[in-house]
Amino acid sequence: MEELLETAAPSEEAIDSAWEEELGSAGSAEEQDWEPDADQPTEKPDTDAPENGALQAERQTSRQTPKPEGGEEATFTLKHLDEVRTVSKDEVVKLAQQGMDYDRIRAERDQLRSFRQQADPSFSLISFFAKKSGMEAEQYLEHLRKQDLIRSGFSEQSANARLSAERIAAERAQEDLRREQAKTEARNASMKRFLKAYPDVKPEEIPKEVWKAVSKGDDLTAAFTFHKNRALEAELAAERQNGRNAQISTGSMSTRGAGKQDEIDRWWNDE
C-alpha cells in the first residue's frame, strides 16, 4: 500500500520540495518572535478528537482488489468506522494527501490556541488599564512606551520621534508579513494547478529553464506548458527539415541517373 502511494503520482509536497531546492525558501509566514513562557499553562493537545477519515481509512485498508482482466483500473476496499468503500488508486492518493493536510492544519490550530491562551490574560489586563485611562489598548501601550523612553533619558520630542519610527517599522513588518503570506498562498495555488494539469509529471522532470521562469514570476503550469510547446515545435521543425532533405537527396540521385542515361544514348547513336 505504501509503495503504491509513493509511485502513483507526485504529491504537492514533492513539487514543493523541488520548488524549495530550485528556488530556495521564501521564508515562513508562521515564524514567531515570541517564545512560550514555561510558567504559563498550555492547552493539552486534543488527543481525544476523532481521527480524521483519510488517515483512519488508510490504516484500515483491508485488502487490494486484484486488477480485473481487460485493463480496468485496480480498486481498493477501505473501511472507516462502519462504512466500507471501494475506491480507485487516484482516490487513495487524494485521501492520503487530505490526511497530511489535516495534520498540518491541526498543528497550526494547536499552536494558535497555545499563543492565545498566553496572550489573552495580558491583553485583558492592558485593556482594563487602558479603559481606566480613557484610551484604546494601542494608545495605552504607546503611552507606556513613551514614558519608558523619557525615564531612560529621552526628551519628549525625541521620544515622539522614536515612537513614530517604531510605528513605521511595525507597519512595514506587517506589510512584509502580508506579502510573504500572499506569496505562499500563490505558490500553493500554483502547485495545485500544476498537479491538476500534469498529475503524472515528477518533480525531477521539470527542467531548469522552467524553474528559472518561475523565479521571475511565471506560473509553474504556464512555464511548463510553454516549455513543452517549444519542444514540440522544435521536434516538428526537425521532422519537416528531415523530410525536405530526403526529397532533395532523392531528386539529386534521379538527376544523376538521367545524365548517365543520356551519355549512354549518345554513345550508342555515335556507334
Q: Which pLDDT band, with edges at 50, 70 and 90, does 65 fall under?
A: very low
- Which value, to the nearest 10 degrees, does the dihedral of the CA atoms of residues 250, 256, 257, 260 take? 180
Residue 147 CA, distance from chain mean position: 46
Residue 29: pLDDT over 50? no
Residue 72: pLDDT over 70? no
85, containing H or E segment = strand 83-88
Q: pTM to 2 decimals?
A: 0.42
Nearest CA to 27 out of 174, 172, 175, 179 is that of 179
Predicted confidence (pLDDT) per residue in 156-181, tens digit: 999 899 988 988 998 899 899 999 99
More confident call, 253 vs 140: 140
More confident call, 86 vs 150: 150
Contact between 86 and 75 under an 8 Å Cβ cutoff? The reply is yes
Residue 194: pLDDT over 60? yes
Q: How far apart are CA 112 and CA 114, in angstroms?
A: 5
Residue 86: pLDDT over 70? yes
More confident call, 130 vs 153: 153
Q: Which pLDDT band, with edges at 50, 70 and 90, does 48 fall under?
A: very low
Residues 123-139, mean pLDDT to the nearest whole number: 82
Residue 35: pLDDT over 50? no
What's the length of the chain? Answer: 271
Nearest CA to 214 out of 12, 9, 10, 20 is that of 20
Residues 16-44, mean pLDDT to the nearest whole number: 52
Q: How far apart are CA 269 and CA 197, in angstroms?
A: 73
Return the pLDDT at 247.
Answer: 75
Nearest CA to 109 out of 187, 35, 43 is that of 43
Return the pLDDT at 178.
Answer: 92
Neighbour count for residue 120 (Cβ, 10 Å): 10
Residues 207-229, mean pLDDT to the nearest whole number: 90
